[in-house]
Every structure is written in C-alpha cells, then in structure tokens.
Structure 1
C-alpha cells in the first residue's frame, strides 16, 4: 500500500503500488508536533531497508518523531499487502474496490483505476453504443436504485441518475448492472446483470 502523511491508516489501503526488483514495501508511523499520528507507506530500496533493520528504525525528522519504520518483501495475502501488517498493525479488513473511470472505454480491462465507493453506493458497469462502436463504463451507483431495479424486475432497463460518479458517459445504453465485491464490475455487464439478486442490495433503509 502507498500513502503520504495519511492521518488514518485506512487511507492507505486502497492506494496500491508495485515495488521494483530492488525495493521492498515499507510503513512509517510518526508523531507530529501537535501529537497527531501520520502514516507513510510505499516502496524503499533494499539497501535502505537493510540499514533500517540494523538500526531498528530511522531517525526522527524535523517536526515529527518516527514511532516505527519497517520493511517487508512478502507477497500480498488475504490480509492485503505486507506493509499493512507492519508496526504492530492488526491485519485490516481491506475494503472492496471498484473500477471507477471517467468516460467510455474500449473493453472491460481498459479501466485501471480502483476506488472505494461511498457507503451508500456499489460497483456499477454498463455497455454503450457510441456511433457504431461498443463501449464500456465503470464506476459507483446508488445502492437503493440498484435495489429498485431488481425489485421491479426491470433488469432490461437502464439506470439513470444525474451527477453520477461516471462523468462523460455517452451513447445508447444496452446494459447496466450493479454488484458488490472487490473489483466485481471488471466483468461482462450482461453476466453481472444476470447475477443481480434483491438480497445483494440495501433499499436505502438504515440498519444497525
């Protein structure tokens, strides 16, 4: 995971980086002058990590003290990247991410931006005809609207809501579908639509 001066470790979870062959993942937890905690994470050279291990940390920087600085080179597992488990952190419950990209795209794999949807939204995917070409859209959509789409048996209908996360959507819609699950909208829209069930979505009521 990667972040810079994040006040909450959860901000680091959905920003991922691939380290180079001569690098390792790292996590740094520091205390600021105002007594707040900040996190920095990403990639550091193998040589720097070796020095950190030998010195059991890194020296404090101006205006902050480093509580912990550590490196790891393990492959990601079910708990996420290895640096999400450094500095005494309990392996987090990694939030689901969705493909979220502006505009229309040539194929299902062409949207490479992942994001966590707001609490009241779920992953969304759609197919559009732009001129004579098939194009795809990806983003987040209001969960209650997805619920209504299934409840009304309107699986052949399109979803319409002003101000969607997907900006630049255009063309004639021939498929709209919602889903829950990590990167679940990086899939064929018609298959996602066929798998939609009422129990997948909340109708907008507040629970708990």
Structure 2
C-alpha cells in the first residue's frame, strides 16, 4: 500500500511540474533604443503577463526620427498616447500582444534585411548558451551568409551548449545537402541530450532560435514536402 501511494505522489508531482512548465510562457518583444531601423534593435525582452510589446516613433530634441520599443504595461498601452514623452515628440505609439516580436512592424518600423540569433562570443556578442532560449542577441548576416546553429556536448556529464552565428552560404549549402538521409540515420542519437554534435543551417527570419535537432527536424519535414529551397535555404 505504501508503495502504491509513493507511486501516486510521484505521478502527481510530475503532473504539477508539467503544468507549471506549460504555464511559464512569456511574450518576447524587440527592444529598440533610439533606433533608426529594425537592424539596430539587436536584443529582445520577455514581458510579464501584465505587459505587451510596444513601438514608439519619436522626434528627438535634435530633430532625429528614431524608434523606441520593448515591453509596456497593459494599462499604459490602453491610455491615450502622450504627445510628448521624456522630451521627445511622439509621432506614433502602438502596442500588440499577438505573438513573439509582434512589434517588429509597428509604427512603420523599417525592416531591410533578415535578422538571426547570434551567441558566438565574437565582437562583443555573448557566447554559446545552455539552452537556445537563453540567447537574446540578434545579428544581421552578410548577403553571402546564412543562419548557423550547433549543439555540442561540453563534458562527460552530457551537458550541452547551443552556439548560433552566421556561416558562409556555400558551406551551409554543403551542410544541408544530404541532411534528409543523414537525419534519418542518426535521428535517435540527435534526440538525446548526450549527442556529440549537431550542426545545421537555415536562412529564414530567426530560424536558428531553436535547438539544432529541432531545426533539423523542421528542415527535413520541409524537404520531404517539397517546401524547402536548397539554394537559398529558405522555406518555399
């Protein structure tokens, strides 16, 4: 009987942990501080459940037109826009909560190129992270580059790290070529946390913000459904 109750309590604990994990979802919003364009907004914030994403287009005292963006309380979002905020003349102010980075295009925030996640430890950027969601650094890759993601075992305890950056497009094309067959051959290993290494490229907006095995699964699924361009490395 004691063994039965022990098992019951253990299962209840697991269910509560799952429920708690599922409940902890936070809206991600692009952060801009005196930005001229979206490319200047290289980080994001996770808002509380009482906040939404916002974007303001303002005219500074020295007559520059710039963007500020991030998280803002729902109460402030619901009020009428202030014509002057911290000395800036507010030309446009808008909030949203429809999904991650929904403030990308508010107030006609210009987007001239594709953004990628990049935690590679170069040029002042943070290094590889324990979990993909811990990387909060955006980057613009060159026209001849693509998004790159790598998952690597770092010690004998099967701890892993996630590295994201930009990589030469031709190298990426070679990496993706044949990924379907290689994936099915090693799918079991890639699904475990003790995988030795996983490396993959893609080229859609923020496509490398997930773990390398997850990106591989997505690309293989797209290839099998004739929905992936092997030259541009983008979803069709």
The TM-score with structure 1 as length reference comes to: 0.58
The residue number in structure 2 matching 1:67 is 91
Higher relative contact order (CA 8 A, sep 6+): 1
**Equivalent residue pairs, number:** 176
- 3-state SS of 1:16 partner: strand
1:4 and 2:27 are equivalent in the alignment: no
8 Å contact from structure 2 (residues 114, 140) kept in 1? no
CA distance in 1, matches of 2:178, 2:171: 11
8 Å contact from structure 1 (residues 99, 183) kept in 2? no
Q: Which of 88, 111, 114 is residue 95 of structure 1 equivalent to?
A: 114
The alpha carbon displacement at 1:75 in A equals 1.5
CA distance in 2, matches of 1:19, 1:138: 24
The alpha carbon displacement at 1:26 in A equals 2.6
The alpha carbon displacement at 1:40 in A equals 0.9
More helix by share: 2
Instruction: Report which stretch shifted further, 108-117 or 193-202.
Output: 193-202
**Cα distance change of structure 1 residues 128 and 8 upon mapping to structure 2, 3 Å threshold:** closer
The TM-score with structure 2 as length reference comes to: 0.53
**Cα distance change of structure 1 residues 37 and 152 upon mapping to structure 2, 3 Å threshold:** same
Say what the alpha-carbon RMSD is for the aligned residues: 4.3
1:147 and 2:170 are equivalent in the alignment: no
Unaligned 5+ runs, structure 1:
157-172, 203-208
